[in-house]
A and B are shown apart, each in its own frame.
Chain A
């Protein structure tokens, strides 16, 4: 079976509130068929038809992938696995993003043997809700192939979309690697499907994809009739220590924040500036004044209290001359353990929040708290009590 091929049609579980299981769904412009009894079969059939037929050697029982499998990963390479890996290691820039995905699968925690640790913990979120992660071996940043090989992994998951020296070195000692990009919704879909194949649980992969699809579809339906003149001009910025008071950073064109604004019925104004840098680009207040956005959405630096930052911004005489600030149309991106703007599993929470923020009249049944409960229950299996005690108190938002 060749997994990771872009599928033209995917089934949808329609789990989200307002979801209609029988209605066609739309995912990034593709018409999606109504839900079927076995959600895995359409994927299996489609990828076999669209993928390389010579690679479709395995027969999969419903919801389970069996070895051998072949996966086309984010770096565009095809990985053949004779048996499903039992020992997984996670490395690369932003390993927590893969870990957060891995822990959505019941098999994930058990098969994880070690990971690269970029911060004080491999993931503050998992440390809080799944203490077993502390028992995994944590490697220091940028571990060499020998350190990774010391974990005796069957497969190494690497965050990224291009071949890395780590991956090349591991290939030389015959440790297979799979790259996961996780930067856009489409890449998320592909990477979840790949992870499902690796873990032998296509059914769970389909559930996760359906969860995301359901919410994306809900936002797209809400914005379907939106005319261009109804779309507010939106500027998403990161307030940061180095950029100072009157210059900020704007995200790259291909990043999640840009998608979130577009999908939520906004008109991103910063795309020209985003062209010149592969990542964050710095813009000054003169340029922001020239754009004069109707809505300003701030990603507040992690060490800064967002409420204080917003108070300062609203009172500052220079910022007050920008239309969004003058009109009181400034919000900051919510966060819990991680920001909802990041290419983390939480991007879907950020999407629905942004849609409700930009067009509350079109998202009348939106409840931020209910979204949070749904998300953590459906994807991580957390109890409502755990969510209430460990997640909700951490949420920073000005959404009312």
Chain B
């Protein structure tokens, strides 16, 4: 029997505490809203008030689950990216996916009629195009190792997309189109219903499963190519597989939620502090903490004021605060 693992300070024990926090957060979030009165919905309200029950089932629950899923995917992807790229300052938006989705959404709003489906489809298409372009450009670079080449290509594509989004914003009608682009870029889950959740769940769950199942290999993929190869891996192919899964899951969620920043960057660092840098515990911890982080932010976004606060503003606000706190207390590290 491993007595060490049963001690309260052991990373595995902490992981179980985090799981408990997830359950608590999900339960409390279900009772937070604006109806019948601001902030907390009592159980008696739910039993007596049919409208309150209906709002909980049809609107609050899918949004809560989507918020958790969004946080989980962004954080797990961020953890995988940081390890594979051996860089503590990258996340899943690094290969031009988020910027591509933003460009696609802006394009959809201004030039493709602005229908909900059109905007999401355009965001998804350009998000994946960003990944494909990063990959193809990385292959054409003739120097540096694979990780470095992909990093350079990702930066270029992201910058290109950002410039494109800037041009579209510049040309957009300030009364009809620009507010929509701005809302999209600020991120938010106010449009989420059950069909939205079911639409993203398969790809998101698949992406998360790949990262989870391959988490022990991510430890090895964070090493140099020669080392990983000597340990029996095919580093180029496996890295691409993990990154593709992470990016695909991120892309489908970004299409629904808009740009929700800082989650993929900051949550893996928090998880690393709590359970260590071993991907076997880091990835699940990132999933749970990321879910909690976005869930709490979204609870505030939908219930703190009578109008919605854009989710991206809150994640940026809390994300940067945590980041500064982490920077000032200890060095960021990967292993």
Residues on A facing B (Cβ under 8 Å): 93-94, 118-119, 140-142, 240-247, 250, 270, 272-274, 276-277, 279-287, 289-290, 301-303, 317-318, 321, 342
Contacts of A274 in B (CB 8 A): 307
* B137 CB, nearest partner CB in chain A, Å: 31
Q: Give the size range of B's interface with the partner.
A: 35 or more
Does B143 sit at the interface, judged by CB under 8 A? no
Does B60 sit at the interface, judged by CB under 8 A? yes
Q: In the complex, what residue of chain A is closest to B119 when comparing beta carbons? A: A241
* CA–CA, A317 and B55, complex, Å: 11
Query: A interface, by DSSP: helix, strand, loop or mixed?
Result: loop
The 4 A-B pairs with the shortest beta carbon distances in the complex, nearest first, are A244-B191, A281-B307, A273-B307, A247-B190
Since A273-B306, A286-B34, A287-B307 are in contact, a sample of 20 more A-B pairs with Cβ atoms closer than 8 Å, ordered by chain A residue number, is A119-B176, A244-B196, A272-B306, A273-B305, A276-B307, A276-B309, A277-B307, A281-B308, A282-B188, A282-B307, A283-B308, A284-B59, A286-B60, A289-B34, A289-B35, A289-B55, A290-B34, A301-B114, A302-B176, A318-B58
* CA–CA, A247 and B184, complex, Å: 14
**Can you list 28 A-B pairs with a CB-CB distance of less than 8 A?**
A140-B171, A240-B180, A241-B116, A243-B191, A244-B116, A244-B191, A244-B196, A246-B190, A247-B190, A247-B308, A281-B307, A282-B183, A283-B307, A284-B190, A284-B302, A284-B308, A285-B55, A285-B59, A286-B33, A286-B34, A286-B60, A286-B302, A287-B306, A289-B36, A301-B114, A302-B176, A318-B59, A321-B50
Q: In the complex, what residue of chain A is closest to B190 when comparing beta carbons? A: A247
Q: In the complex, what residue of chain B is closest to A246 when comparing beta carbons? A: B59
* CA–CA, A342 and B193, complex, Å: 30
Contacts of B119 in A (CB 8 A): 241-242
Counting residue pairs across A and B whose Cβ atoms lie within 8 Å, the total is: 115
* CA–CA, A242 and B119, complex, Å: 9
Contacts of B175 in A (CB 8 A): 93-94, 118, 342
Contacts of A273 in B (CB 8 A): 305-307
Interchain CB contact (< 8 A) of B37 among A276, A277, A290, A301: A290
Query: B interface, by DSSP: helix, strand, loop or mixed?
Result: loop
Interchain CB contact (< 8 A) of B174 among A118, A284, A285: A118
A119→B190 contact, CB < 8 A = no
Q: In the complex, what residue of chain A is closest to B52 when comparing beta carbons? A: A289
Q: In the complex, what residue of chain B is closest to A272 when comparing beta carbons? A: B306
B307→A241 contact, CB < 8 A = no
* B297 CB, nearest partner CB in chain A, Å: 15
B193→A245 contact, CB < 8 A = yes
* A139 CB, nearest partner CB in chain B, Å: 13
Q: Find residues 34-64 in chain B having any chain A CB closer than 8 Å to their own CB.
A: 34-38, 50-51, 54-55, 58-60
Q: Which interface residue of B179, B184, B190 has the most chain A CB atoms within 10 A?
A: B190
A241→B170 contact, CB < 8 A = no
CB-CB contacts of B298-321 with A at 8 A, as 1s and 0s?
000010011111100000000000
Q: Which interface residue of B188, B196, B305, B308 has the most chain A CB atoms within 10 A?
A: B308
CB-CB contacts of B54-81 with A at 8 A, as 1s and 0s?
1100111000000000000000000000
Interchain CB contact (< 8 A) of A303 among B54, B55, B113, B307: B113
